C-alpha cells in the first residue's frame, strides 16, 4: 500500500480516493432514487381516495423534533470528521457515538409517527396517497436504520484497529452518507410536511 502522508488519512491511498469518488457517484444514484419517490408523491398527493389528506394527519411537533435531531446529528458527524483529521481518536469516537444516538432518537420519533398514522387510519393499504407517503418516509427511515448499523460497525472497527487509512476512509464515506440523508430529510420536511400543512 502506498500511503501518501501529505493528505488526510481518508484520502491517503489510491484505493481510498477511488472509494470516495465511487461513493459520490452512488449518491448521484440516490438523488434519482429519492427524485422518483418525490415524483410519485407529488402525483399522488391529491389522490387520497377515501383516506385522509396530508393536512389532516400531519403533526408539527414530532416532525420538528425529527428535523432538529437529524440536523444536529449531521453537525456532530461533521465534527467527527474534523476530529479525525486532527488525529483525535477519542473525540472522533465521541462525536460518532453522539451522532448514532441522535440517529436512534430520530428513528424512534419516526416510529412513533408511523404508529400515529396507523391509529388515524393512514396505512399502506388506505389510499395511493398514504401508501406513497409511507413508502417515501419508510425509504428514508430504512436508510437511517441501515446507517445506524453501519456507523456502529465503524465505531467497533475504530475501537479495535484505531484510525488507519481504511477505517478513516470508511468513516469519511459514512459521514457523506449521513449528510446526504439529512439533505433528503430537508426536502421531505419542506415539500411533504410543510407544503402539506401550508
Partner 1 sequence: MRELFPMKQVNGFIFSLLLTVIALSVYFLDMSFELGITILLITAFVQAGVQLIIFMHAGEGEDSKTIYTTLYYGVFIALATVFGSLLAMVWGYF
Partner 2 sequence: MEFFERFAIPHPSPMIYASMVAIALVTIAIAVGITYFKKWGYLWSEWLTTTDHKRIGIMYIISALLMLFRGGADAVMMRLQTAVPENAFLDAQHYNEVFTTHGVVMIIFMAMAFIIGLMNFVIPLQIGARDVAFPRLNALSFWLYFAGAMLFNISFVIGGSPDAGWTNYYPLANNEFSPSVGVNYYNWALQISGIGTLMTGINFIVTILKMRAPGMTLMKMPMFVWSGLITNVIIVFAFPVLTIALLMGTFDRQLGTFFFATTDGGMDMMWANLFWIWGHPEVYILILPAFGIYSQIISTFSERNLYGYKSMVASMVLISLLSFLVWLHHFFTMGQGALTNSIFSVTTMAIAVPTGIKIFNWLLTMWKGKIRFTTPMMYSIAFIPLFTIGGVTGVMLGIASADYQYHNTMFLVAHFHNVIIPGVVFAMIAGLIYWWPKMFGFMLNEKIGKWAFWFITVGFCFSFFPMYITGLDGQARRMYTYSESTGFGPLNMLSFFGAGLMAIGFAVLVYNIYYSFRKSPRNIGDDPWNGGRSLEWATHNPVPEYNFAVTPHVISSEALWDQKKRGHQIFRDKIEKIHMPNNTGWPIMVAGLFFVFGFSFIFNIWAGVILSAIAIFGFMGYRSFEKDDGRYISVEEIKETEDKFGGANK
- The residues of the shown chain that bind partner 2, judged by CB under 8 A, are 1, 17-19, 21-22, 25-26, 28-30, 32-33, 35-37, 39-40, 43-44, 47-51, 124-129, 131-132, 135, 149, 153, 157, 160, 166, 170
Question: Can residue 71 be called a binding residue for partner 1 (CB under 8 A)?
Answer: yes
171 contacts 155 by C-beta, under 8 angstroms = no
Cell numbers for 101, please give them: 444516538
> Cell 452518507 identifies what position?
177
How many CA atoms, within 13 angstroms, populate the side-chain half-sphere of residue 21? Answer: 7
Residue 48: CB minimum distance to partner 1, A: 14
Residue ranges of the alpha helices (H) in 86-164? 89-119, 128-161
Question: Can residue 31 be called a binding residue for partner 1 (CB under 8 A)?
Answer: yes
> DSSP string covering 17-51, please?
HHHHHHHHHHHHHHHHHHHHHHHHHHHHTT--TTS
Question: Can residue 150 be called a binding residue for partner 1 (CB under 8 A)?
Answer: no
Query: Which stretches of the chain bind partner 1, using CB under 8 A?
Result: 11, 17, 20-21, 24-25, 27-28, 31-32, 34-36, 38-39, 42-43, 60, 64, 67-68, 71-72, 74-75, 77-79, 81-83, 86, 88, 91, 175-176, 179-180, 182-183, 186-187, 189-191, 194-195, 197-198
Amino acid at each position: 500500500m502506498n500511503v501518501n502522508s501529505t493528505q488526510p488519512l481518508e484520502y491517503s491511498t489510491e484505493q481510498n480516493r477511488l472509494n470516495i469518488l465511487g461513493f459520490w457517484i452512488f449518491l448521484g444514484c440516490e438523488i434519482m432514487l429519492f427524485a422518483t419517490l418525490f415524483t410519485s408523491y407529488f402525483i399522488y398527493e391529491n389522490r387520497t381516495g377515501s383516506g385522509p389528506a396530508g393536512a389532516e394527519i400531519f403533526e408539527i411537533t414530532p416532525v420538528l423534533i425529527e428535523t432538529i435531531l437529524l440536523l444536529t446529528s449531521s453537525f456532530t458527524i461533521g465534527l467527527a470528521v474534523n476530529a479525525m483529521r486532527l488525529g483525535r481518536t477519542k473525540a472522533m469516537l465521541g462525536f460518532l457515538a453522539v451522532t448514532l444516538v441522535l440517529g436512534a432518537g430520530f428513528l424512534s420519533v419516526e416510529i412513533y409517527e408511523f404508529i400515529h398514522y396507523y391509529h388515524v387510519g393512514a396505512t399502506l393499504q388506505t389510499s395511493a396517497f398514504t401508501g406513497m407517503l409511507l413508502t417515501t418516509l419508510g425509504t428514508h427511515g430504512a436508510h437511517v436504520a441501515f446507517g445506524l448499523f453501519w456507523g456502529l460497525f465503524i465505531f467497533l472497527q475504530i475501537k479495535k484497529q484505531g484510525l488507519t487509512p481504511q477505517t478513516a476512509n470508511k468513516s469519511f464515506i459514512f459521514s457523506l452518507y449521513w449528510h446526504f440523508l439529512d439533505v433528503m430529510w430537508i426536502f421531505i420536511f419542506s415539500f411533504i410536511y410543510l407544503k402539506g400543512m401550508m
